[in-house]
Amino acid sequence: MKAPPTDQPSIEFCRTLLAGRVPEEAITFCAYLLPERAAVWWAHECLSNLAELLGDRDLELLALVSDWVGEPGNPDHRTAVAQAVEVPPVTPVSWLALAAGWRDSGSVIDQAAGGFPTAHAVSAGILAGLARVSLADRLAVLSAFVEMGIQMAEMEAQQQSADVY
């Protein structure tokens, strides 16, 4: 992202990015705004909406990521994600699988990640998926993805407020 920070609240800033010169920055901002597990789920939902543009391997990886989000501590899901990311990320969902693997603190994948956070991989996966959308439809799809991310961020904020009480 190259947009300078402002004093705007996060959601307002995200919508400003979406309406700005480089609306893709709103995707990246959402990826960093959401807690890691929520960001991975958001990316899963975004990429699931592009299923007709994905290959068989990506569809398999989507299922693995869905299982992992449902039970991130399950050793079987962790192993499946770790095996899925043994190859370099070259497709939208391979980035998402990498994000799930990076999110598992202390994993071997963390050591190979080179310091990139989960949000980096989430953003890369969603943007790679958007690159497959026709130019005529891209802004509408991007906007829908950002709005979904904003809704998730608002739900996360409400949940955190409820947890305080």
**41: which residues sit within 8 A by CB, 6+ positions away?**
69, 152
Reply yes or no on whether the pLDDT at 85 is more than 50.
Answer: yes
C-alpha distances (whole Å) from 146 to each of 53, 63, 134 are 19, 22, 18
C-alpha distances (whole Å) from 41 to each of 49, 72, 114, 135, 140 are 13, 11, 23, 25, 20
> Binning pLDDT at 50, 70 and 90, where does residue 145 land?
very high
pLDDT of the residue at 150: 96
> Binning pLDDT at 50, 70 and 90, where does residue 109 land?
very low
Reply yes or no on whether the pLDDT at 104 is more than 60.
Answer: no
Reply yes or no on whether the pLDDT at 112 is more than 50.
Answer: no
Q: First and final CA of the chain: distance in angstroms? A: 35
pLDDT of the residue at 67: 85
**50: which residues sit within 8 A by CB, 6+ positions away?**
92, 129, 132, 133, 141
DSSP-based three-state secondary structure for 128: helix
Task: Please state the pTM of the whole predicted model.
Answer: 0.86
Structure tokens at 141: 């799809």
Reply yes or no on whether the pLDDT at 111 is more than 70.
Answer: no
